[in-house]
Homo-oligomer: A and B are copies of this chain.
Amino acid sequence: MNLSEGKDKFLQSWGAYGSSWGVNRTMAQIHALLMIAPQALSADDIMEELKISRGNANMNLRALIDWGLVSKELKAGERKEFFVAEKDMWKVVKNIIIQRKKKELEPMLKVLDELSSVEGDTPEAAEFVRMIKEIKLFSGKADSTLDTLVKADSNWFIGTFMKMIR
């Protein structure tokens, strides 16, 4: 397989992969493109490679920066902005965990907390509260585990944890 075929396949797969996890397909593709780029790319480079509009490129680049997966790079003497992706996979995953934890897990925990105070003496109310508490207990544990994982450094995770769990 040559580079151009491989690149296309990677861009398309990473897009589909992201898509099935609720991440905008184009955002995932821009991320993929930057991850395999040997140097920083400009918005124009990205627009051309992925055949997308300037608006689309801009919005998704900003989102990637927000997630801590991409950063801006200024080149001396150049007026336009260049973009580079974080290439350390452990950092990539860590940032994704941090974001999704903040945007999805933590709000859910808050909702579960409110819901566990539902009143009522019917079997329906009893089962509702029981199940909400079960979900909350589990989610709370997942939340702490992720906290620990995020605080742990790459070496610890890849070394100790992986060996331990095997």
Q: Which residues of A contact B (CB under 8 A)?
A: 1-3, 5-7, 9-10, 13, 17, 19-22, 35-38, 87, 89-90, 93, 103-104, 108, 111, 114-115, 117-120, 122-128, 131-132, 134-135, 137-138, 141-142, 144-145, 148-149, 158, 161-162, 164-166
Nearest-neighbour CB distance to chain B for A29, whole angstroms, equals 14
**Distance of A161 Cα from B148 Cα, bound (Å):** 12
A9 near B115: Cβ-Cβ < 8 Å: yes
> How many whole Å from A74's CB to the nearest CB in chain B?
22
Please measure, in the bound complex, the distance between the C-alpha atom of A124 and the C-alpha atom of B7, giving whole angstroms. 10
- In the assembled complex, the Cα of A130 lies from the Cα of B36 at a distance in Å of 8
Among B13, B37, B131, the residue within 8 A (CB) of A111 is B13
Specify which of B3, B125, B141, B161 is in contact with A118 (CB 8 Å cutoff): B3
Return the chain B residue nearest A164 by Cβ: B164
Please determine whether A148 and B166 come into contact, CB atoms closer than 8 angstroms.
yes
Is there contact, CB below 8 Å, between B138 and A162?
no
Alpha-carbon gap, A150 to B103, bound state (A):
26
Q: Which residues of B contact A5 (CB under 8 A)?
A: 118
Q: Please provide the 7 A-B residue pairs with the shortest distance between their CB atoms, ordered closest to farther.
A: A6-B118, A89-B138, A38-B127, A22-B22, A3-B125, A3-B120, A148-B165
